[in-house]
Amino acid sequence: INTAVFISGRGSNLKSLYNFSKKKISPIKIILVFSNNKNAAGLKYAKEKNLYSIYLRDKKIKILEIRLLKILNKKKIKLICLAGYMKILSYNFIKKFKGKIINIHPSLLPKYKGLNTHNRVLQNNEPFTGCTVHFVNNKLDSGKIILQKKIKVLRNDSIKKLSKRVLNEEHKIYPKAIIKLFS
């Protein structure tokens, strides 16, 4: 399945998905890496792995999305994996894309949608948190859940420690969700 990975930062989930894509059990082939951030470390990683990578930015979101859709169609992309992509896709883009769009989020949705999830989890003294892979729809972090992983919040957790443990689980769950999706 021709896959695009959308990133905004370091690309740790991109690395995990790339490694997964090289395994026999993987149904995906990463054809394209897109970023809205020209300084994203994940773009450097994509270049190292000889993955077709692009940075696009336009003040007019509609124009950017039209350009992006043309590239996705040309590359015959059927799956978009959002992996730390920090922009909200428009309903129009989601509707026009002829494939599936999935996202990984660092909380047990429907709790803690949006940003600063680990901070909110700790402030609210949650006993558990985790990560969720879900379909993208027109509402933020509200699409149908594909897979979740629950982890215990530890007494000595800081935002940094908790973030690192959740990210480690994200790297495991994203490939499992893709296998579940296409098996």
Choosing from 105, 118, 134, 171, which is the catalytic residue?
105
Question: What's the chain's Rg over C-alpha atoms?
Answer: 16
105 noted as active-site residue: yes
What DSSP assignment string belongs to 143-156? Answer: SPEEEEEEEEPPTT
DSSP tag of 90: P
Which residue do the tokens 């769009």 mark?
101
**87: which residues sit within 8 A by CB, 6+ positions away?**
8, 36
**Rounded to 5 degrees, what are φ and ψ at 112?**
60, 55
Strand pairing report for 145-152 and 128-135: antiparallel
CA gap 28, 66 in Å, rounded: 24
Taking Cα atoms as reference points, which of 85, 155, 161, 86 lies closest to residue 118? Answer: 161
Beta bridge partners of 34: 6, 54
Catalytic residues: 105
